[in-house]
Amino acid sequence: MSLIEAKLGGLSDEQVVVLAKQLRRVIITVDNDFGEIYYRHERGNIGVILLRLEDESRGAVEQVLSRFFRGAAAEIDLEQSLVVLTESTMRIVRP
């Protein structure tokens, strides 16, 4: 469920990080700020999947995530890593 669907769309980035830690959730986002937050402050404490897509439509996002979860995701500690996905590439920053 997305934060918007849960009526939590107004949370600050810091509040999202706190919530993700409390609920042991991975943040899936198109917001580059979460990559910076992970890299500079939360490395290894949260998991972030950052989508850097040309097409951010729901269908395009679902396609990229589906391919990722069917393939490489099983080999990555998602709760502690930053994964940057494009339409054709993947970069992983581990704790």
Tell me the per-residue pLDDT of 80-93, one tens digit each, with 9 for 90 and over: 999 999 999 999 99
Q: What is the mean pLDDT of the chain?
A: 95
State mean pLDDT over 63-84: 97
70: pLDDT strictly greater than 90: yes
Band (2; pLDDT cuts 50, 70, 90):
confident
pLDDT attached to residue 6: 85
4: pLDDT strictly greater than 90: no
78-81 long-range contacts, CB within 8 A, separation 24+ = 78/26, 78/47, 78/49, 79/24, 79/26, 79/46, 79/47, 80/44, 80/45, 80/46, 80/47, 81/47, 81/48
pLDDT attached to residue 7: 87
